[in-house]
């Protein structure tokens, strides 16, 4: 029987509790459902001292990161409000670099990506982090190709995830990589997770991402798109609805929402398509038509651009999760 995969999870003062307890729980349950022997878990802090999470939760680690010896299978580094202070601890950052060199794969959750970047582990790589800090990560580390959208990103032997609960999605993907799709679905079902989400899926849906414009004409145009995604929402039609010239409307829309009218329409349509695919009753062609994409190929391109997967693969993945949960 092969030896258990050795996983070291790193937390620190002010870490986000779910950034490390979520992945830890995924691996622990995968080990238990597999009858033991899959994973050997160890939670460490920089010096082994108890730490207090950003929520106030007090945690007693198994030991110090600096005392970890020997080869590792997986290194997981948490994030959270305490990341900024942890970045100033140069010996700790150097320890992470040394641990990564001995690990088969290195992972971060949320703003833990800043610690990997500070250790030089993300240079030249594509990486994810919490959407609210993606811009900062890119500015501070221009050698990193920051992608603000996906739940998680794999670039070679380095995996990075978005914020908080996305760390569980990342851990489920690691379990799938180690033990297969069914093992990951078993863990997701045990955790009562709705679905084992694909890494390319966006960090949040349109209702969460939706930023209502301050001025009524632009806000009304947004609401029109959300109310009927399948309608022909050209820039000219939306501008006419707002009572503005098309060029002025486009500038005002981007200024107030952070995206162009066309990008907003596509985002809303993809979100509606995702909901229809989950319902499972409409064909791909019917979903494309209902959401205003014009052609199936246009729909497929937009869906993959937004969610990192095809409509068919998304539907199949969702159905597989439902069958596993049945």
Whether residue 145 is found in the same domain as residue 221? no
Residue 48 lies in a domain: yes
Whether residue 175 is found in the same domain as residue 264? no
8 A C-beta contact, residue 231 and residue 240: no
Q: How far apart are the C-alpha atoms of 261 and 278, rounded to whole Å?
A: 26
Whether residue 216 is found in the same domain as residue 160? no
User: Which of 286, 304, 282 shows the shortest CA–CA distance to 296?
Assistant: 286
8 A C-beta contact, residue 264 and residue 292: no
Whether residue 26 is found in the same domain as residue 139? yes
Domain boundary among 190, 214, 247: 190
Number of Cα atoms under 13 Å in the Cβ half of residue 195 = 15
The whole-number pLDDT of residue 325 equals 45
Residue 196 lies in a domain: no
Q: Domain range holding 65? A: 5-190
Of 53, 107, 110, 291, which one is the catalytic site residue?
A: 110
Residue 199 lies in a domain: no
Number of domains present in the structure of the chain: 2
Helices (H), the chain: 17-33, 83-87, 90-101, 112-118, 134-140, 166-179, 181-190, 206-209, 216-227, 235-242, 246-257, 261-279, 284-290, 296-307, 311-325
Whether residue 215 is found in the same domain as residue 113? no
Q: How far apart are the C-alpha atoms of 306 and 302, rounded to whole Å?
A: 6
The DSSP 8-state label assigned to residue 67 in this structure reads G
Where does residue 110 fall: left (phi above 0), alpha (psi -120 to 50 degrees), or beta otherwise? left
Residue 201 lies in a domain: no
Q: How far apart are the C-alpha atoms of 15 and 220, rounded to whole Å?
A: 40
Q: What is the pLDDT along the chain (326 residues), one digit of tens a residue?
A: 578 999 999 999 999 999 999 999 999 999 999 999 999 999 999 999 999 999 999 999 999 999 999 999 999 999 999 999 999 999 999 999 999 999 999 999 999 999 999 999 999 999 999 988 988 999 999 999 998 878 899 999 999 999 888 999 999 999 999 999 889 989 988 998 755 555 455 554 444 445 567 788 898 999 999 899 999 999 999 999 999 999 999 999 988 887 899 999 998 999 899 889 877 788 999 999 999 999 999 999 999 888 778 898 888 776 655 454 44
> Catalytic annotation on 110?
yes
Whether residue 226 is found in the same domain as residue 310? yes
The angle subtended at Cα 135 by Cα 134 and Cα 137, nearest 5°, is 65
């Amino acid at each position: 029987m092969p030896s258990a995969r050795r996983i070291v999870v790193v937390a620190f003062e002010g870490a986000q509790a779910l950034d490390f307890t979520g992945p830890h729980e995924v691996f622990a349950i995968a080990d238990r459902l597999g009858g033991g022997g899959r994973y050997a878990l160890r939670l460490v802090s920089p010096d082994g001292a108890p730490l207090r999470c950003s929520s106030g939760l007090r945690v007693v680690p198994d030991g110090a990161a600096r005392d970890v010896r020997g080869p590792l299978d997986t290194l997981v580094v948490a994030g959270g409000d305490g990341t900024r202070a942890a970045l100033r601890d140069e010996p700790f950052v150097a320890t992470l670099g040394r641990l990564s060199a001995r690990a088969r794969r290195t992972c971060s959750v949320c703003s833990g990506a800043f610690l990997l970047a500070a250790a030089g582990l993300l240079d030249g790589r594509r990486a994810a982090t919490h959407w609210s800090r993606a811009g900062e990560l890119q500015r501070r580390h221009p050698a990193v190709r920051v992608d603000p959208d996906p739940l998680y990103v794999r670039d070679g032997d380095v995996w990075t995830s978005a914020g908080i609960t996305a760390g569980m999605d990342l851990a489920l993907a690691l379990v799938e990589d180690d033990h297969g799709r069914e093992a990951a679905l078993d863990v997701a079902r045990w955790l009562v997770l709705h679905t084992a989400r694909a890494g390319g899926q966006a960090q949040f849906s349109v209702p969460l991402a939706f930023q209502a414009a301050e001025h009524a004409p632009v806000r009304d145009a947004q609401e029109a798109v959300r109310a009927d995604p399948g309608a022909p929402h050209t820039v000219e039609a939306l501008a006419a609805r707002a009572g503005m010239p098309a060029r002025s409307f486009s500038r005002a829309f981007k200024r107030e929402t952070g995206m162009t009218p066309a990008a907003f329409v596509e985002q809303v349509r993809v979100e509606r398509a995702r909901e229809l695919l989950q319902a499972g009753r409409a064909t791909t062609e019917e979903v494309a038509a209902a959401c205003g994409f014009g052609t199936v190929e246009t729909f497929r391109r937009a869906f993959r651009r937004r969610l990192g997967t095809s409509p068919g693969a998304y539907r199949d993945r969702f159905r597989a999760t439902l069958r596993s949960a049945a």
